[in-house]
């Protein structure tokens, strides 16, 4: 096969990356005339001040490697973001005035840290964030004055295992922190007095709990947690002072249910159902425990985070919406019916894509696995791309992906697999991989190949693997464990040696230790079995790896050694290093990644036409 693609500047696949994408939207809690939008309209993801009345956008950040996420103060006066070095996710939080100006370091006395989960109490009196410093998780809180002056950060809690927070009550008096139980991937929720740091309550039980929302009412100490004790993630209301809790009455709904926003009067909660990777929105009345389905467009709404769909000041819903065929845009839904009212921020230069189809197949143990399939024009079978998402704890839903559309543009069939370990399919499905990473996920990928061939979609000798982050790890793992099934593999920001990644101080080693059920010292044999480097002698297909020199999650040394071992064994491997971290927010850089993969695939396919690789 000859690829249906060229590399001219105006090629359709390049335009898919160049079209501006809206990544995140927020409203100021106390004044919804102020908002922020994270967008790639400049070519690199940056944070923009959003005047919601006029829809005017003003670029605030100009980070050379981009900013993926910002936080607006409740009064709309300032915007906060992590300023890192070349995408390494390590640096300091800074703030910038809403109308633009010089950034200010708000933690000048701290060493550089891996920072995330910056947030405010609704009244704006307290702010806080999580920082990883030399492998320890610190939860910091700061006082915020009436003139927006920020006090020095104080340690509320620290933990050598994974911890996340703080999530504040509306008045800032209580801070909630998620704390991982040692040797597991489950979390408890701990409540602290913000003033004193004294623990006041502790939510624990069978399974895991996460904090999603705190009541918007100033004196209300109820929070909505997400728990999986029922076998699926479902919300419950927890009073963090009295300890009383009750589950939402959702027995008639299938799948997992996420609380996304809480109405300002405290009466209604917006819920998002995720069942077989498809989404539905509902309103839940906390006063009488009634559920109301919304009649919204099909597609994907918001992100994995709370407040990614918002009640606005008019009682309607603001939602980031997209589908596999339509890029992201901000829409307004009727707050009572869910019917589309208007497009607030349209997708600029939108290039519709091929609508992906939800399919399922049986894995080696009979487990049904959901995936998203797209096929090019013409009759199959086709050369085929199987892509594994990162995470592993996420779900690929009906979303627009320039990478997947680019493969279809080039004449490939494309399958994105929600393998074991993905969220949205229940606790048993997600937890099946615990303590045995790289086994059941790969079994699901092998089963995907079988299904594609049986359906006459894939040419058996022309099935490629690809993925980024955890998906890159699975690409290398599958190439080694089932070496004769694949035409080639293309792995981005991958891990090849889990123990070495841990030893080199990976910023996600706490999460990986939870997934593995212990440290490399406690479980050396399992860490080895779960590492692609253990199977390097078996690899038969050519490999392309694209890796960041400043990656704090997938550390560089393990890939350097993997490449050395592959070359010493005479294996075909190419490694491209780029001077950023765990991926790129630069559209031009992402085009370069895709071009390298397309050229690599073209060279591999040429060998099947009698041309040397």
Is 243 in contact with 201 (CB distance < 8 Å)? yes
Sign of CA pseudo-dihedral 437, 440, 441, 443: positive
Of 303, 330, 350, which marks where a domain is finished? 350
108-136 pLDDT, tens digit per residue, is 999 999 999 999 999 999 999 999 999 99
For range 144-156, the mean pLDDT: 93
18-30 pLDDT, tens digit per residue, is 999 999 999 999 9
- Output the average pLDDT for the chain: 95
What pLDDT is recorded for position 111?
A: 97
288-306 pLDDT, tens digit per residue, is 999 999 999 999 999 878 8
Do 463 and 595 lie in one domain? The reply is yes
pLDDT bracket for residue 610 (50, 70, 90): very low
Tokens 């143990």 found at: 365
Tokens 């409740």 found at: 74
What pLDDT is recorded for position 613?
A: 35
For range 83-105, the mean pLDDT: 96
Biggest CA–CA distance in the chain, Å, is 74
For range 341-368, the mean pLDDT: 95
**Which residues fall within 8 angstroms of residue 264, CB to CB, at 6 or more apart?**
216, 311
Do 317 and 393 lie in one domain? The reply is no
Of 318, 350, 382, which marks where a domain is finished? 350
- How far is C-alpha 470 from the geometric centre of its chain's CA atoms? 11
455-467 pLDDT, tens digit per residue, is 999 999 999 999 9
Give yes or no for residue 59 having a pLDDT over 80.
yes
Torsion angles phi and psi, residue 213, rounded to 5: -140, 145
Q: DSSP code of 196?
A: T
Count of all residues that appear for the chain in the document: 613
| Burial call 186-203: b when 16+ CB within 10 Å, e when fewer | bbebbbbebeeeeebbeb
Token digits of residue 6: 């060229």
578-599 pLDDT, tens digit per residue, is 999 999 999 999 999 999 999 9
Which whole-number Å values give the CA distances from 567 to 537, 560, 562, in the listed order? Answer: 11, 11, 9
494-530 pLDDT, tens digit per residue, is 999 999 999 999 999 999 999 999 999 999 999 999 9
What pLDDT is recorded for position 161?
A: 87
Torsion angles phi and psi, residue 315, rounded to 5: 85, 5
Number of domains in the chain: 2
Give yes or no for residue 65 having a pLDDT over 70.
yes
pLDDT bracket for residue 381 (50, 70, 90): very high
CA atoms within 13 A on the CB side of 345: 31
Do 435 and 547 lie in one domain? The reply is yes
Of 328, 350, 372, which marks where a domain is finished? 350
What pLDDT is recorded for position 306?
A: 86
The torsion angle over the Cα atoms of residues 414, 419, 421 and 424, rounded to 10 degrees, is 80
Q: Which domain holds residue 293?
A: 264-350
Give yes or no for residue 549 having a pLDDT over 70.
yes
Do 387 and 526 lie in one domain? The reply is yes
Give yes or no for residue 612 having a pLDDT over 60.
no
Is 438 in contact with 477 (CB distance < 8 Å)? yes
Q: What is the CATH number of the domain that holds 439?
A: 3.40.50.1820
What pLDDT is recorded for position 171?
A: 97
What pLDDT is recorded for position 2?
A: 60
Do 418 and 308 lie in one domain? The reply is no
For range 338-363, the mean pLDDT: 95
């Amino acid at each position: 096969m000859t690829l249906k693609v060229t590399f001219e500047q105006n090629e359709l696949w390049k335009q898919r990356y160049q079209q501006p994408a809206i990544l995140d939207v927020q409203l100021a809690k106390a004044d919804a005339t102020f908002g922020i939008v994270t967008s790639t309209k400049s070519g690199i993801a940056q944070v923009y001040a959003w005047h919601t009345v006029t829809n005017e956008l003003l670029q605030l950040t100009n980070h050379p490697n981009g900013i993926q996420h910002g936080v607006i103060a409740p009064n709309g006066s300032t915007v906060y973001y992590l300023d890192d070095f070349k995408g390494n996710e390590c640096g300091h939080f800074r703030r910038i005035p809403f109308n633009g100006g010089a950034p200010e370091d708000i933690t000048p006395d701290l060493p550089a840290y891996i920072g995330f989960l910056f947030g405010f109490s609704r009244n704006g009196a307290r702010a806080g964030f999580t920082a990883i410093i030399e492998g320890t998780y610190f939860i910091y809180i700061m006082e915020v004055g009436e003139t927006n002056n920020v006090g020095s950060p104080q340690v509320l809690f620290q933990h050598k295992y994974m911890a996340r927070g703080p999530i504040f009550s509306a008045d800032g008096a209580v801070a909630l922190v998620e704390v991982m139980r040692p040797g597991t991937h489950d979390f408890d929720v701990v409540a602290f007095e913000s003033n004193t740091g004294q623990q006041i309550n502790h939510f624990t039980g069978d399974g895991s709990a996460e904090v999603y929302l705190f009541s918007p009412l100033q004196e209300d100490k109820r929070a909505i947690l997400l728990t999986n004790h029922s076998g699926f993630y479902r919300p419950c209301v927890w009073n963090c002072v009295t300890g009383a809790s009750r589950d939402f009455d959702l027995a008639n709904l299938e799948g997992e249910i996420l609380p996304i926003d809480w109405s300002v009067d405290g009466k209604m909660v917006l819920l998002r159902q995720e069942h077989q990777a498809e989404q539905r929105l509902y309103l839940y009345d906390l006063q009488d425990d009634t559920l109301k389905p919304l009649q919204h467009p099909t597609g994907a709404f918001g992100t994995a985070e709370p407040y990614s769909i918002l009640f606005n000041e008019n009682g309607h819903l603001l939602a980031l919406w997209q589908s596999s065929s339509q890029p992201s845009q901000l829409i307004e839904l009727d707050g009572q019916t869910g019917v589309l009212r208007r497009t607030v921020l349209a997708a600029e230069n939108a290039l519709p894509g091929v609508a992906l189809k939800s399919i399922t197949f049986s894995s080696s143990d009979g487990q049904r696995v959901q995936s998203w399939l797209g096929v090019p024009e013409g009759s199959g079978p086709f050369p085929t791309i199987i892509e594994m998402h990162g995470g592993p704890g996420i779900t690929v839903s009906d979303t627009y992906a320039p990478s997947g559309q680019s493969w279809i543009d080039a004449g490939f069939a494309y399958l994105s697999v929600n393998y074991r370990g993905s969220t949205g399919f229940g606790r048993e499905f997600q937890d099946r991989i615990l303590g045995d990473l790289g086994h059941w996920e790969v079994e699901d990928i092998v089963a995907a190949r079988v299904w594609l061939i049986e359906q006459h979609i894939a040419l058996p000798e022309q099935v490629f693997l690809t993925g980024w982050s955890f998906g890159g790890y699975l690409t290398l793992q599958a190439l080694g464990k089932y070496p004769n099934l694949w035409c080639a593999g293309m792995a981005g920001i991958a891990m090849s040696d889990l123990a070495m990644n841990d030893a080199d101080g990976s910023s996600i080693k706490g999460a990986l230790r939870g997934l593995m059920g212990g440290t490399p010292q406690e479980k050396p044999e399992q860490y080895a079995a779960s590492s692609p480097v253990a199977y390097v002698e078996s690899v038969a297909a050519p490999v392309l790896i694209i890796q960041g020199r400043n990656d704090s999650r997938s550390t560089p040394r393990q890939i350097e050694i993997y490449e050395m071992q592959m070359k010493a064994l005479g294996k075909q491997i190419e490694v491209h290093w780029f001077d950023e971290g765990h991926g790129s927010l630069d559209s031009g850089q992402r085009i370069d990644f895709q071009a390298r993969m397309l050229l690599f695939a073209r060279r591999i396919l040429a060998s099947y036409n009698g041309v040397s690789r």
